[in-house]
Chain A
Amino acid sequence: MSLDLIIEAKDVAKWYGAFQVLKDINLTVRKGERIVVCGPSGSGKSTLIRCFNRLEAHQQGEITVNGITLHDKMRNVAEVRKYVGMVFQHFNLFPHMTVLMNCMVGPMWIKGVSAAEAKKTALRFLERVRIPEQANKYPAQLSGGQQQRVAIARSLCMEPAVMLFDEPTSALDPEMVSEVLDTMTSLARDGMTMVCVTHEMGFARAVADRVIFMNAGQIVEEGTPQAFFTNPQNERTKLFISQILKH
């Protein structure tokens, strides 16, 4: 395995009971690559990226993340989660902690960093997502866009090798979408390895190295944004793109 492979999925399959959510998934993510995953609702996008930090367990095939193979007998799931940051659709900030604490607890409780050190890191990344002035507020006092940027900062504080985004802008009011996308774009410019489930096609065009289209648990098309949007091969992809671009 080459050293700069961050995520490697081979023939991955997963079932919920009798229902197959993921089928023959083959995917590699190299260091610094930005990947956008799209596809109709229920096609298994969330399930796929949740397998990458083992919030979900796959049943067949092999997933290797940052050199660690994920399987049922692994003793330390937390080890892989250190290297994988995740941003959720609904932010999932800890509402009983200030923004600053939200960003500090990861390094403090996982890496055993001192509070002073963790605070410095937290402020640095809050600066990075451009909301250092909100540090002492509680999440509920922030707008959706600000909360999502805090969630990004919280993940960054762990200095992950790859960031997973699960529809980070789809719970936001339209005018807040761009501030989050701007943050993500600037992350991408700085070379962060990213896997984003999103339907923001402008974002995909601007930053993605590859776009992956999923349908019914399978990757049905994969290519550069250019090829994906202008010359889709698969019938399902064509339909999807035409629907997305209709409005």
Chain B
Amino acid sequence: MVTAKRKVLAICFTASAMLAAAGGVTANSELLKMQQNANDWVMPNGNYASTRYSELNQITAKNVKDLKVAWTFSTGVLRGHEGGPLVMGDVMYVHTPFPNKVFALDLNDDGRIIWKYEPRQDTSVIPVMCCDTVNRGLAYGDGKIIMSQADTTLVALDAKTGKKVWSVKNGDPSKGETSTAAPMVVKDKVYIGVSGGEFGVRGSLTAYSLKDGKQVWRGYSMGPDSDTLLDPQKTTHLGKPVGKDSGINTWKGDQWKIGGGATWGWYSYDPDENLVYYGSGNPSTWNPVQRPGDNRWSMTIFARDADTGMARWVYQMTPHDEWDYDGINEMILVDQKINGKMRKALVHFDRNGFGYTMDRVTGELLVAEKFDPAVNWATHVDMKTGRPQVVAKYSTHQNGEDVNSTGICPAALGTKDQQPASYSPRTGLFYVPTNHVCMDYEPFEVSYTAGQPYVGATLSMYPAPGGNNLGNFIAWDADKGKIVWSNEEPFSVWSGALSTAGDVVFYGTLEGYLKAVDAKSGKELYRFKTPSGIIGNVNTYMHNGKQYIAVLSGLGGWAGIGMAAGLTDPTAGLGAVGAYASLSNYTQLGGTLTVFTLPD
């Protein structure tokens, strides 16, 4: 059986090589098939629909308690390790934060290194990365491993040898443009966005040719229609045409040119609709008073044609952001009954604390409910206009510059940040790693200098009222818009979840635990303390007839900033600071991959 599988893979490789030689017609159908093979893990979120669900069922709710560490691997890098490895056949591909190494590991030899890639990058890129030098992973396509380096170099490596096939520069770090995202491959193209919302960049999604790295199209988050690739008539916002130059006319003057809307999150793809889905981040600056208007299309879900980049629909979740609620979290594509009607749905857990269910074909808004009861900045989302109903007391704009708005939930970290959720078709539930943190936010005047921070607000963060836990791990019903169960976590859950056909859900914690819980009840079934805090995403694969679970640990990221030093509680006075035990008492830095399996 094992050998048979390997043969099939070998054939796949030759077949794709031949296709490429014949003019690169369709490396695509290869990847469409590969993402359905549960034995492999070929894209960061498991599949194009970003469900992070695996059909593998050797490890079950019954036997997961016996899980043991099979092997480990140190990356030799200390910064925060987000994302997770890819697995194809006998090879695992592991990436690291800056300096962005890539390792190909031999699964037949306990992870012996087959090849290693380490780019030379200018260290001047480090300070322009707002929140640690993280990288969320690799893409595979047509025999190449693709990575977006911190300095925005998109590089394609030969999957067999690690040799560079092509590379292209997607942005300019001297203007604050950097990269943290994992690219996505669809058919003959690679898609990648840009980071730098805190430096006044103008976000965009760019498609490059998978064959040679040539730019095919670029769609900006704001600007004239020719830049945003929005059609005034055909592109819709909640069913209505967006109109001419919608990416300019809700901005004052030229502010849109440094308007943010970075595209540093995850990308999903629906092959039937041929649409790429992703979200844009905060408008720049964090001081809302300096940028009156809705600031379209920051904080927006985009559905773009994979071939041309033209947007079919957009939806702005947080018009005129006043809290840094980036809209970049993953878009999970599921076919589900919503309000009694079968839908091709898109489910998105936004930083702003609302869980959105949309029709991904038309962009119709179906459900928008809070996925943490602590969320207070808006009472609800008006389902007609799609606008959140902002509570005046928590409006940092209405309160004005130099005024400290207090008790806003969630904090700028969001009820959930980039750490991707999972969806199990067996339970019909979404498993969501969340933050349970609130903030004070004081905006003030800033001036723009290219390549310098362009923040314009100060904030303090602390646990939501009524408890000391900074995170929850929840199960969510996207039809009803309700939490089904919720597990408290002492720290924010900053690790991507995995659900499996064994009815187990896995996630990591900032103290470093890999946890397994029952998919139905949330009951904890297993935990193991890895060498460092986990901000990576859990995955699973099958090798030589055995199911494995793999996760990167290595504390850092935004979570490592605020939490490593212990949070502050402005209401309880100075004495309380110590009550929020410092994370450094639990764990230290260091990137390690830990691979688990059941004993023989």
Chains A and B bind each other: no
Interface residues of B (CB under 8 A from A): none
Interface residues of A (CB under 8 A from B): none
